[in-house]
A and B are shown apart, each in its own frame.
Chain A
C-alpha cells in the first residue's frame, strides 16, 4: 500500500473522493509507527483507541459533506502540546505522569479542522537540545541512517515525517528546533513569525523565542497545516491579532523577480563544504527560475549564540520553576521537609541539559550579574534584529544553510555542550529577531545525509516563503527522496 508515500494534499483528495477512510488511513499510520518504533523511537505516546475514535468522527464529517482540507488527516504532535486526556511529557521525567487537563490552542485548531491526533512525538527534554539525545524517553534515530541523530529538539516529529509515520507533524522552534531537524532528516519545516501561532497550552521553554510550527514533506502540505495552526488566540498575550493569509492559495506565485539576500557571513569558515555545495546549487536553481541574488550582511550574527545562551536559559529557569512536585508531575519519595521536596523532586525529574540551563539562567539573572549578562544580551538582541531589518530593505527573503553540517552520529557531540550550541548559529538569529524561518531539502552531503536550505522571510511573510519553497519543489525533486527501507 502506498498511502504513506502520498503527500498530505494527496491524502486529503483521497479522503474527499472516499478512496480511503480516515479510520483506514489512521490504522495504516499506527501500524507503521508500531513497526518502526523500536528502531526510531520517534514517539513517546500512542493511543490507538483515541486516534481511531477521532478518525471515526472525521469519517462521519466527510460523509456529511462538510470536510475541511485536514479532516481525517492523521497528524503527530510534538509532546509539548497539551492535549486533553493525553499524557504530555515534554520528554521529561518530571512530567512523565502528566495527563493534560486541557487542550493547547493548536490542538483545538486541529480538532476543529477534523484532523486526527496520531500520537505524541519524542523530543529533547523541554525542547532543550539539537540532537534529541536529551529525552528522558531515549534518543530518536534518523531514518536516513540509524547511527545519526535526527536533530532536535523536534527530532521525533522530523523522524516521523521523514520515515512516513505521519504525513505531517507539529514542532516548536526556539533556536532552530524545527528547521535543524528538518534539515537533518530531509523534510520541510516552517517556524512561523513569533506571534503567528498561539503558545497557549504549548509548554514553555523560552517564552520570547518559542513558536509552534510544522514539519511536512512539501511546501503545499505545510501551507495546509499552517492554515490550521495560525491565528489569533486571546489567551496568549503575545499572539498577534491579525488576519492569516490563505497559504495554500498563494503557493503558485513563482519567484520571478524575487530578490534573494545571501548574507556574506553565511559562507564563512565553519560551514562544511558538503553542505555549502548543495546550498549554492539551490540558490543557482532559484536564479534559473528568475530570482536575483543580492549580497547582504548580518554583522552581529556571530553574537547570536552567546546572546541566546543568556536569554533562553534565563527565561527557562523561571518557566521551569513551576515543576516543584506540589500540584502535578514528579514528586520525590518521602521528602523530609519542603526544601527536600523541591530539591529532590527537581533533581530527579530534570535531565542534565535542563539542569545546566536552569543553572545558567538563574546565574545570569542573579544579583550583580543581571546588567552584564541579561541586559547586555537584550541590547545585542536588538542589534541582531536591526541587521535583519536592514537586510530586508534590499531583499525579499534570505537564504543560506539551516545547519553547518549534515546529521552527525549519535553520541559524537554529547561530551561538549558548547560545541553543540555553536552549531545552531544559522537558526538562532531568526528566533532572536522573531522572524519566520524555513528549511527545505536541497540535496545530500557527507554519508549521503540530507542538507536543508534555510529560507528566512520578513515578519508575517509566511505566504511568500511558502510560495518560494513551492517553486523550488516544482522544479526539483529533493523533497520526494525517501530514506531507504521506509518506502
Chain B
C-alpha cells in the first residue's frame, strides 16, 4: 500500500504537481491498481526469460552518415521561449 509520502515522492520523480487533495485521490486509485496488479505475485516465473520485445530480432544498424539538415527555424517556431537560437528555461544552478 502506497503511503501519502510515497505518493509525494513518486509525483516528484515524475515531475507532477499534485493539487491540494489530489494526492489522497491518487493514493486510493494507485492502490486499487496495485491491488489488481498483485495477482502477478502468485505466478511461478522461475527460469522464464523476461520479454522486452514482441519479436525475437536484433537491432538494425544505420550507416554513419549525416542525413539531417538544419531545421532550427521550423522547430523553434513551436517553442515556448527562444532567444538567439537557444531554448530558454528558468535559471539553472548546477
Contacts and interface: CB of A to CB of B under 8 A. Distances in A.
* Direct interface between A and B, CB < 8 A: yes
Interface of A: 97-99, 101, 194-195, 208, 234, 237-238, 240-241, 300, 302-303, 305-307, 309-310, 317, 321, 324-329, 331, 335-344, 346-347, 350, 355-356, 358-360, 362-364, 366, 372-373, 375-383, 385, 416-418, 421-422, 433-435, 459
B14 interface: yes
B53 A238 contact: yes
A324 B57 CA distance: 33
Given A340-B90, A418-B33, A359 B16 contact: yes
A383 B54 contact: no
Interface of B: 2, 6-7, 10-11, 13-19, 26, 29-30, 32-34, 36-41, 43, 45, 48-55, 57, 59-60, 62, 71, 74-75, 77-81, 87, 89-92
Given A356-B30, A385-B51, 16 more contacts: A99-B77, A194-B55, A305-B36, A306-B36, A306-B37, A310-B40, A327-B80, A336-B90, A343-B15, A355-B16, A356-B29, A360-B30, A362-B10, A362-B13, A373-B37, A383-B43
B51 A306 contact: no
Nearest to B46: A379
B39 to A, nearest CB: 5
Nearest to B25: A352
Contacts of A306: 36-40
Given A380-B43, A383-B43, A331 B13 contact: no
A445 B26 CA distance: 35
Q: Which 9 A-B pairs have the closest CB atoms?
A: A434-B54, A378-B50, A379-B45, A343-B17, A331-B80, A342-B15, A347-B17, A382-B51, A194-B54
A359 B30 CA distance: 8
A379 B51 contact: yes
7 contacts: A98-B78, A208-B52, A237-B59, A303-B43, A309-B33, A321-B15, A381-B50
